[in-house]
Amino acid sequence: MRGGATLRGFDRTQPGRRPRGAGAVGFPLPHEEHRMKHRTLGAAVALAALAWTGVLAPAAQAEPGVATPAAAGPATTTLAPPNVDVAAVQAHLTQFNGFATANGGHRRAGSAGYTQSLAYVKGKLQAAGYTVTEQRCTSCTYVSNNLIADWPGGDANQTVVFGAHLDGVSAGPGINDNGSGSAVLLENALQLAARNPSMTKHVRFAWWTDEEQGLNGSRFYVGQLTSAQRTAIKAYYNFDMVGSRNAGYFVNNISTAAAAPLREYWTSLGLAPEENVEGAGRSDDYSFQQAGIPSSGYATGASARKTSAQAAKWGGTAGAAYDPCYHARCDTTGNINPTALDRAADGVAHTIWKQAVNESPANDFSLSLSPSSGSVAAGGSTTFTVATSTTAGSPQTVTLSATGAPSGVAVTFDPGTVQSGSSSTATVSVPASAASGTYAVTVTGTGTTARSATYTLTVTGGGPGGCDGVPAWSASASYAPDDVVSHNNHKWKSTWYSSGAEPGAPGSWAVWQDQGTC
């Protein structure tokens, strides 16, 4: 979150001194009783969601956990939001902390630490199937890129945007401010892709640059929108500092319709959230508010101090800052409250589902492969079966396609279009010139929604892959420092961990070093 300063006429200065000291790298685990309470209360929300969609009869609502079948009519498939694994969110924070450590101790906009953070997020999203673009913020104090990721499907005229700033201040790693919001959004985006539900609205995720210098990245994005594009955004949700060690539980614009699902989830946990007064006008939701776009978001507090009343209902230390390491060197992974982080992550998932997911799709299907892997010698071929099944509603027409096959390898389907409930035979044809290696081929069935499965193809006896035997770069592979690949007739050496970051692409200098032509 941007520091307390005057922003467009608003004096947001907060009391309290900058704390000193350094936190240890690593995450404390929440107490077991907190985990059990969170899961129990989360289950209550899921039960309520079933009641809203009409799956539970009134009698069932009176006895939690017991569902009474409807007296008549077909069964309804209801999709509940995922319980986001806080350990997965923490793993992203560990990556961000590593990027800061390797680059002067910070992830300030425009720095190598920021660029590596962006490349990491981008690679994860591309591998999950998002349409990802980098937007150059030419008016930013530190000229650098926003990252925008769109999940396919949903009505583009009904778009919901979930955003967080990815940059930090130069004083420290910025793990709570704002690695926490960035990691929560990333894991929610990955969980949405894994579930791949039918969408009623279009969902867009955004990671902003240069927030700490005056909300510059989000302001640039909003300023580039046409009138029609602004109108299409029905709500913007901002997540800035959601893992504060002495956490409070705050919702931006808490009384508005946009805030309802966020408020609803934290209320179901017995948290009695409050209005985010400290953060008003100090984070990226303000850029959207200024454009007339409804906005809300979560925050767990910055340098302001927890009151005795807040400590009584939320726990923690009265009179102490919500985040004792705000804008300081000690804002590391040791500065994160995993219970608050978990509650924020699951509240985001709840909001995505309430705002944009068709929880009771009229028609749906599943897709599976048998076998799901195969080895083919160069010059040969193999087959596998693509099976579909109707999981809700009526059978539908499903068109089959494949992506991710290595250069020259063809994947064909007979038939190419099936009715859900039927199968197709996929043939993989590998030319003699194909490079040896293991490849992830994604098979997708597209009907009223899209369902995918992965076929692992191993090519043997083929060429070395180009560039004097250096293996070709693969968008589906994960790379570590010192790995060497070939791509576009160049050798490239990995300087950091990455997946999906294409050598030679804008921003890839942070993870790939050009070793010259070959």
Lowest mean pLDDT among 30-39, 123-132, 403-412: 30-39
Catalytically annotated residue among 134, 187, 211, 212: 211
Q: Does 415 sit behind a cis peptide bond, omega within 30 degrees of 0 on the bond before it?
A: yes
Annotation marks residue 211 as catalytic: yes
Q: Which of the pair, 207 or 26, is modelled with greater confidence?
A: 207
Out of 356, 385, 412, pick the residue that ends a domain. 356
In a shared domain, residues 289 and 200: yes
**Average pLDDT over the chain, rounded to whole?**
85
For 91, 98, 514, the CA distances from 85, given in Å and listed in that order, are: 10, 21, 37
In a shared domain, residues 472 and 450: no
Write out the DSSP string of 109-142: TTSHHHHHHHHHHHHHHHHHT-EEEEEEETTSSS
Predicted local distance difference test score (pLDDT) of residue 33: 39
* Residue 73 forms part of a structural domain: no
Q: Which domain holds residue 419?
A: 361-463
Predicted local distance difference test score (pLDDT) of residue 475: 78
Residue 410's CB: how many other CB atoms inside 10 A?
Answer: 12
Out of 327, 356, 385, pick the residue that ends a domain. 356
How far is 107 from 99, CA to CA, in rounded Å? 7
pLDDT in tens, 298-337: 999 999 999 999 999 999 999 999 999 999 999 999 999 9
Closest CA to 237 of 214, 263, 212: 263
For 376, 379, 385, 430, the CA distances from 458, given in Å and listed in that order, are: 6, 13, 17, 10
Q: Find where tokens 């690695």 sit.
A: 179
Cross-strand partners of 485: 492
Cross-strand partners of 164: 207
Predicted local distance difference test score (pLDDT) of residue 278: 98
Residue 20 exposure: Cα atoms within 13 Å on the Cβ side: 0
* Residue 69 forms part of a structural domain: no
In a shared domain, residues 56 and 123: yes
Average pLDDT over residues 341-355: 97
Out of 444, 463, 482, pick the residue that ends a domain. 463
Average pLDDT over residues 77-85: 79
In a shared domain, residues 38 and 165: yes
Structural contact between residues 184 and 343, judged by C-beta atoms closer than 8 angstroms: no
Q: Find where tokens 């969609």 sit.
A: 53
In a shared domain, residues 198 and 342: yes
Lowest mean pLDDT among 32-46, 163-177, 231-245, 305-319: 32-46
* Residue 72 forms part of a structural domain: no
- Alpha helical stretches, state H, 234-294: 260-268, 285-290
pLDDT band at 25 (very low <50, low <70, confident <90, very high): very low
Structural contact between residues 388 and 421, judged by C-beta atoms closer than 8 angstroms: yes
pLDDT in tens, 134-179: 999 999 999 999 999 999 989 999 999 999 999 999 999 999 999 9
**Residues with Cβ < 8 Å from 69, sequence gap 6 or more?**
57
Predicted local distance difference test score (pLDDT) of residue 462: 62
Question: What global pTM score does this model have?
Answer: 0.65
Predicted local distance difference test score (pLDDT) of residue 393: 81
**Residues with Cβ < 8 Å from 122, sequence gap 6 or more?**
132, 134, 147, 500, 501, 507
- Alpha helical stretches, state H, 397-437: none
* Residue 66 forms part of a structural domain: no
Average pLDDT over residues 212-232: 97
